[in-house]
Amino acid sequence: MDILSKTLDLIDNVINDIEIKDINFYDYLLNLMSSLYKNCSIALFFYENTNFILKSAVKDNKKTDITFPLSFENIERLFDSKDKFIKIKTQKTDFLKAETIVAKLAIKESVFGFALLSSDSLNDDKILDSFIAICNIVSYKIKDYELNEVFKIQLKALQEAIIEKENAFEIIKKQHKKLLELDKAKNLFLANISHELRTPLNAIIGFSQALDSKIFGELNQKQAEYIKDIQISSLHLLGMINEILDISKLESNAIKFSPIELDPKTVINEVINILEPLYKNKNIKVEFISNFNGTIKADYQKFQQILYNLLSNAIKYTFENGKIEIISDFQNKDYILKIKDNGIGIEKKYHNKIFKKFVHLNNIYTKNQSSTGLGLTITKELVKLHNGKIFLESELEKGSTFTMIFKKMVI
């Protein structure tokens, strides 16, 4: 065992100094094995690229290197063998004057192995056993070293990956914070815009109303007509400003929800009255079907806004002489509200889209209708605020029905 421990020490030293795949290392191993088995011919084989190389040391210390290409299949067969020993019959029968080579494959996955070439020693069990033992230990030692190297590389890669991940996490965290700040800035900006636009609008609407009220004198027919036009446009502009403000409020959770007990009939009739000039103008028939006579818990202003948005939309997208139905209903404690029109309808592919922000459905009917594309988004959010859900059933050219179900709203 002295020889063994000495060998292992030597290998330990050498693998720290020489690269495993270095050709000198194989020479060193070969010399080592030769010195241990003085009376034997030893060969060491390894792969280099696609070549199978046999390095051999014979009794008289004459060295031969043989390199021959091995097909992938051959290599596979060589290393997949379950036998402890592999007999390699070389094509060159004069190779080291030996008919057979007995090789111990160091490790299946490893790049090298040893072979004992002398046919005399093959008959000596003692030599053979010790040879196998040494081969095993040497190969495991080297395997261990290789694994260590692989482990070190992997550890380094892992550490780098962790650092990278930490950096990525930091970047994401920073970006997230930035996005939140940007969103806050956007909402503030929208609130400011709303404020800045309201100030001049106050003068436009106020002066035109002052003229319209004729307190400062009569107007001729054209002047009166133009004043009305200014007012209609101003109110339209105000509607859009309100929508922008509403969405910024909803998104920044700055909206206040104050539910009270109310009779939906009152609110529905109120909204119908407000919008009367619009639907009368198109000769649309608005019918209110009330199947519910109780009270509900809702935010008055917001419930009114839901109705206003849906009814004004229905008027907008219904043909002249069309018909709109508002159905107030309930089921147990749930309050159900439907706005049904026989207008232009919405194609199925747009059904999910229309509740999204800034969506305009471009078709010939809506070409002349300007809007922010926020109305239905706001409506959906307001319905949600009331613990409700909104659904759309619609078919092109046949009309649309918006159904809202408010959970446990009935008092």
Partner 1 sequence: MKKILIVEDNELNMKLFYDILTYQNYDVEKAYDGLEAYQKIESNKYDLIILDIQLPKMDGFKVLKKLKEKNISLSNIIIVSACAMDEDKAKAKAFNIETYLTKPIDINNFLKTVKEKLD
Which positions touch partner 1 (CB under 8 A)? 191, 194-196, 198-207, 209-210, 213, 215-216, 234, 238, 242, 245, 249, 254-256
Task: Find the shortest distance in angstroms from Cβ 238 to partner 1.
Answer: 6
Query: Which residue number, 24 or 202, has a Cβ lying nearer to partner 1?
Result: 202
Query: Which residue number, 201 or 361, has a Cβ lying nearer to partner 1?
Result: 201
Torsion, CA 82, CA 88, CA 89, CA 93, rounded to 10: -170
Task: Find the shortest distance in angstroms from Cβ 226 to partner 1.
Answer: 18
Task: Find the shortest distance in angstroms from Cβ 372 to partner 1.
Answer: 16
SS3 (DSSP) at 87: strand
The span from the CA of 117 to the CA of 119, in Å, is 6
Query: Which residue number, 193 or 359, has a Cβ lying nearer to partner 1?
Result: 193
Taking 3-state DSSP, the helix, strand and coil percentages for the chain, each rounded to the nearest 5, stand at: 50, 20, 30
- Taking alpha carbons only, the member of 191, 385, 405, 357 closest to residue 300 is 385
SS3 (DSSP) at 51: strand
- DSSP H or E segment with residue 15: helix 2-17
The span from the CA of 34 to the CA of 37, in Å, is 5
Task: Find the shortest distance in angstroms from Cβ 348 to partner 1.
Answer: 37
Query: Which residue number, 30 or 211, has a Cβ lying nearer to partner 1?
Result: 211
Query: Which residue number, 246 or 341, has a Cβ lying nearer to partner 1?
Result: 246
Task: Find the shortest distance in angstroms from Cβ 267 to partner 1.
Answer: 19
Total number of residues shown for the chain: 411
The span from the CA of 384 to the CA of 406, in Å, is 9
The span from the CA of 5 to the CA of 249, in Å, is 81
Query: Which residue number, 199 or 332, has a Cβ lying nearer to partner 1?
Result: 199
Are the beta carbons of 130 and 56 closer than 8 angstroms?
no
Residue 212: CB atoms within 10 Å:
15
Task: Find the shortest distance in angstroms from Cβ 396 to partner 1.
Answer: 37
Are the beta carbons of 244 and 377 closer than 8 angstroms?
no
Backbone angles phi, psi at 326, to 5 degrees: -115, 120
Are the beta carbons of 153 and 141 closer than 8 angstroms?
no
- DSSP H or E segment with residue 67: strand 63-69
DSSP 8-class letter at 333:
T
Query: Which residue number, 117 or 211, has a Cβ lying nearer to partner 1?
Result: 211
Query: Which residue number, 36 or 238, has a Cβ lying nearer to partner 1?
Result: 238
The span from the CA of 404 to the CA of 383, in Å, is 8
Task: Find the shortest distance in angstroms from Cβ 194 to partner 1.
Answer: 6
Task: Find the shortest distance in angstroms from Cβ 235 to partner 1.
Answer: 9
Tokens of 106: 């160091």
Query: Which residue number, 69 or 200, has a Cβ lying nearer to partner 1?
Result: 200
Query: Which residue number, 17 or 196, has a Cβ lying nearer to partner 1?
Result: 196
Task: Find the shortest distance in angstroms from Cβ 386 to partner 1.
Answer: 17
Task: Find the shortest distance in angstroms from Cβ 233 to partner 1.
Answer: 13
